Amino acid sequence: MKKIEAIIKPFKLEDVKKALHELNIEGMTVTEVRGFGRQKGHTELYRGAEYQVDFLPKIKIEVVTSEETAVKAVDAIVNAARTGQIGDGKVFVMGVEETVRIRTGEKGKDAL
């Protein structure tokens, strides 16, 4: 099993969700986060004084899938979230040792 963590632009969430749904990925966890990469932040203006805001609003998506689905899922996320502009985000993939569905106690792939 793999865990995919994707940091994307907020307005791309709907597209990414749809793309993952087409791979029959049933669930995901989404968090509103703030951060920066190469894009850095942006400047804001308050009463004439300019200041830098480093951390920009992003969305973090977390999905756990089987090994086979993971590759396709990463492609789907990348395609759906890409605008070509700086600040499109990143995708991280990592291994998962165990999954348990709390309601039934199912383990492993059955719990996904």
Partner 1 sequence: MKRVDFIKLIILLIGLGLFLPGFSGTGLADDASAVAQAAEAAPLSELAKLSEAVSASKIALDTVWVLVTAFLVFWMNAGFALVESGLCQAKNTVNILAKNFVVFAIASIAFLVIGWGLMFGDGNSFIGMDGLFFLLGADNSPATGDAYNGVYSAMNWTGVPLYAKFFFQLVFAGTAATIVSGAVAERIKFLSFIVFSVIIVGFIYPIGGHWIWGGGWLAKAGMWDFAGSTVVHSIGGWAALAGVMVLGPRLGKFTKDGRVSPIPGHNMSTATLGALILWLGWFGFNPGSTMAVDAEAISRIALTTNTSAAAATLTATLTAWLMLRKPDLSMILNGTLAGLVAVTASCAYVSVVSSLIIGLIAGVIVVLAVIMFDKLKLDDPVGALSVHLVNGVFGTLAVGLFAEDRFMPGTTGDGLLFGGGTKLITSQIMGIVGIGVFTFIVSIVAWYVIKAIFGLRVSKEEEMEGLDIGEHGVEAYHITGSEGRIRPL
CB 1 within 8 A of CB 112: yes
Which CB, 14 or 75, lies closer to partner 1? 14
Beta carbon of residue 55, minimum distance to partner 1 (angstroms, whole number): 4
Cβ atoms 61, 8 nearer than 8 A? yes
SS3 of 30-83: EEEEEECCCCCCEEEEECCEEEEECCEEEEEEEEEECHHHHHHHHHHHHHHHCC
Least distance to partner 1 from the beta carbon of 60, Å? Answer: 16
* C-beta closer to partner 1: residue 8 or 64: 8
The Cα–Cα gap between 56 and 3 comes to 24
Least separation, in Å, of the C-beta of 41 and partner 1?
8
Q: Which is nearer to partner 1, 86 or 94 (CB)?
A: 86
Q: Which residues bind partner 1 (CB under 8 A)?
A: 9-11, 14, 34, 41-46, 49-55
* Minimum CB distance to partner 1, residue 13 (Å): 11
Cβ nearer to partner 1, comparing 3 with 40: 40
